[in-house]
Amino acid sequence: MIVFRRWSVQRRLTLAALLCALAGYGAIALLVTPIMHTVATGFLTEQAAGAARRIAFVVERDAPARLRPVAVTEGTDLIQVVDERGRIRQASPRLTGQPPLSTATATGTGTDARLTTTSCTNRVPGVHCLITVGFRANVGGRPWMAYAYMPAPPWYVSPLYPPAATLCVLLLAGVTACVAWLTARKALTPVSAIRNELAEITATDLGRRVPRGRYRDELDELARTVNETLDRLERAVEQQRRFASDASHDLRSPITAMRMEVEEAMLAPEEADWRETGRRMMEGLDRLQNIVADLLTLARLEAGAPGRREPVDLARLVSEELGRRTDGKPVETRLRTGVVVEGDALRLSRLLANLLDNAERHADTMITVTVGERKGQAVLEVLDDGGGIAPDEREAVFRRFIRLADSRRRDAGGTGLGLPIAREIAEAHAGTLTIEPSERGARFVLQIPLISS
């Protein structure tokens, strides 16, 4: 079994084809054997019938005046002529001196008076069962019987049949195995090409693709799936590269600012305002801490770290989150009670907080939060009355470290990760987070499947 597991697919398929061929051809040979036996029995029976009919005709013509020894013809050398009293009147040389091998009489009249049966005896050396065919002969009004006997064929028909059948089965199985070997080899050639191409593709050469097949079969589907996987891998690697580049840039900016503050203070330590320097250092550290915390959150979301799954009432979630916000622009709520989803309350609170923080930065006077339902989906909307977001920039704001000019002007200390984190949380809950058109400001719409009742 261990050796078989180490075999290639081509060898396994060939062995399977060989075993199936042996079983199939062997079964055919076993099924053909009874047919051959029936055909052989019928042939020998007709051969014996011809000899018995000929002898019966001669007996009717010549007996009892000129009975002569029975001539052996047509391959039948076991013949007896029996009178109405059961006495042997004629016999072939092999049965001379033997009592009647059969005393059964034929049924019917005229030329239809024929007997066909099989009898077993030990009187004939080398023969056990005999095919017996008898014809009635009318000799002076007395019913005589002319019998011809043929050795019944064995179940295997002939001593030559088993080795001949075995040889044919082996030859056919060998031919089938060779065809299976060549077919498997040709069929697996595209697999080898795919494997070789994949082996040569590295992290720095993800633009290469495996060759497609000429026919639209399973192997072509495999190549297409592999290429689609490589496409996703290339996009993921490129996204990680951009993410690493953007993250390093955003981390470098506060570090550079803090270094400059320290270097300026150290150039003139007596004149430096160390309290003000410390305050600016704390601002830089706060920004670094926020960036690192957001990066860790994104890493956990991308890794698929499972959150708690519990019923969450969105109206209550909004009320609790707004209760923790003691300052900022006024918030108008339109909350429908009983809108319940299944998810992680902490992560959904983080999503709502990020949307509210974004609306706080861009709203002029008012923020509106709405909870409702739409086509079997729970809907949470956060709308501000600010300048809004241009349609061609509505997807860009969900990319990491992307901050529009208005956002940088209103809040220079942002990380550019709040909205990407919010979308990741929405997708982790099988939902969507998009920006929909509004008369004024930016309208963020979260849709999550309602909890199944």
Yes or no: say if 386 and 395 are a contact pair by the CB < 8 Å rule: no
Q: Is the pLDDT of residue 410 over 80?
A: no
Domain regions of the chain by residue span:
11-151, 188-305, 310-449
Confidence (pTM): 0.48
Task: Give the span between the Cα atoms of 15 and 174, in whole angstroms.
Answer: 11
Task: Give the span between the Cα atoms of 54 and 69, in whole angstroms.
Answer: 14
Identity of the highest mean pLDDT range in 143-147, 244-248, 284-288? 143-147
What band does 379 get if pLDDT is binned at 50, 70 and 90? very high
Task: Give the span between the Cα atoms of 43 and 195, in whole angstroms.
Answer: 62
Task: Give the span between the Cα atoms of 411 and 404, in whole angstroms.
Answer: 11
Task: Give the span between the Cα atoms of 379 and 371, in whole angstroms.
Answer: 6
pLDDT averaged over the chain?
Answer: 80
Q: Is the pLDDT of residue 72 over 70?
A: no
Tell me the H-state helices in 268-331: 274-302, 314-324
User: Which SS3 state, helix, strand or coil, does residue 89 take?
Assistant: strand
- Kindly provide the b/e burial profile for residues 183-222, where b requires at least 16 CB atoms within 10 angstroms of the residue's own CB: ebeeebebeeebeebeeebeeeebeebbebbeeeeebeeb
- Kindly provide the b/e burial profile for residues 265-300, where b requires at least 16 CB atoms within 10 angstroms of the residue's own CB: beeeeeeeeeeebeebbeebeebbebbeebbebbee
For 378, other C-beta atoms within 10 Å of its C-beta total 24
Amino acid at 356: L
The two structure tokens encoding residue 273: 């305002």
The two structure tokens encoding residue 420: 């990407």
Distance of CA 352 to the CA centre of its chain: 43
CATH superfamily entry for domain 310-449: Histidine kinase-like ATPase, C-terminal domain (3.30.565.10)
Long-range (24+ apart) CB contacts under 8 A made by 201-205 are: 201/230, 203/237
Q: Is the pLDDT of residue 100 over 60?
A: yes
Yes or no: say if 435 and 445 are a contact pair by the CB < 8 Å rule: yes
Yes or no: say if 157 and 105 are a contact pair by the CB < 8 Å rule: no
Among 441, 412, 413, 447, which residue's Cα sits nearest to residue 429? 447
* DSSP structure class, residue 98: P
What band does 383 get if pLDDT is binned at 50, 70 and 90? very high
Q: Is the pLDDT of residue 287 over 70?
A: yes
Exposure on the CB side of residue 58, measured as CA atoms within 13 A = 18
CA torsion through residues 218, 220, 224, 225, sign: positive
CATH of 188-305, one of 1.10.10.10, 2.40.50.90, 2.60.40.1250, 1.10.287.130: 1.10.287.130
Q: Is the pLDDT of residue 371 over 90?
A: yes
What band does 444 get if pLDDT is binned at 50, 70 and 90? very high
CA torsion through residues 20, 23, 25, 28, sign: negative
User: Which SS3 state, helix, strand or coil, does residue 333 take?
Assistant: strand
Edge-to-edge strand order for the sheet containing 367-374?
A: 331-335, 367-374, 377-384, 443-449, 432-436
CATH of 11-151, one of 1.10.287, 3.30.450, 3.30.70, 2.60.120: 3.30.450
In the numeric block, the tokens 């830089």 are attached to 284
Q: Is the pLDDT of residue 1 over 80?
A: no
In the numeric block, the tokens 């901050």 are attached to 403
Task: Give the span between the Cα atoms of 250 and 295, in whole angstroms.
Answer: 11
CA distances from 199 to 9, 68, 194, 212, 339 (A): 19, 93, 9, 16, 52
